[in-house]
Amino acid sequence: DVKVTQSSRYLVKRTGEKVFLECVQDMDHENMFWYRQDPGLGLRLIYFSYDVKMKEKGDIPEGYSVSREKKERFSLILESASTNQTSMYLCASSLGTGGQPQHFGDGTRLSIL
């Protein structure tokens, strides 16, 4: 069975901290994605990666960076956390061809105090 694992379900950090969210997939997928979900705003793409060391900005990349050193792992970094980054963060992966469904992790509920 396919699996996308996010390192934490809940995380509480302080303003100004550097925050790392980790995601691992076991399906050998080319694509990996980071989204944030806020009430009434659906899923907004932060960054995606279509290959190791390759990344592209999504719709809301400001304040975030990513790292993909290995195919199975995609990390989201909040360089200096702010309260407006309090949100649900979802990681997903998919095959590289068009129309393939994305497989999601269960999310990380991040609170910045």
Partner 1 sequence: DQQVKQNSPSLSVQEGRISILNCDYTNSMFDYFLWYKKYPAEGPTFLISISSIKDKNEDGRFTVFLNKSAKHLSLHIVPSQPGDSAVYFCAASPSFNTNAGKSTFGDGTTLTVKP
Q: Which residues bind partner 1 (CB under 8 A)?
A: 4, 30-31, 33, 35, 40-45, 48, 50, 54, 56, 90, 92, 94-107
DSSP 101: P
> Based on CB atoms, which residue is closest to partner 1, 83 or 100?
100
Distance (Å, rounded) from C-alpha 59 to C-alpha 11? 24
In angstroms, give the least distance from the CB of 37 to partner 1.
9
Distance (Å, rounded) from C-alpha 106 to C-alpha 42? 15
> Based on CB atoms, which residue is closest to partner 1, 21 or 79?
21
> Based on CB atoms, which residue is closest to partner 1, 5 or 82?
5
CA distances in angstroms from 112 to 25, 84, 85, 88, 109, listed in the order given: 26, 8, 7, 11, 10
Whether the Cβ atoms of residue 80 and residue 62 lie closer than 8 Å to each other: no
In angstroms, give the least distance from the CB of 8 to partner 1.
14
> Based on CB atoms, which residue is closest to partner 1, 22 or 104?
104
In angstroms, give the least distance from the CB of 95 to partner 1.
6
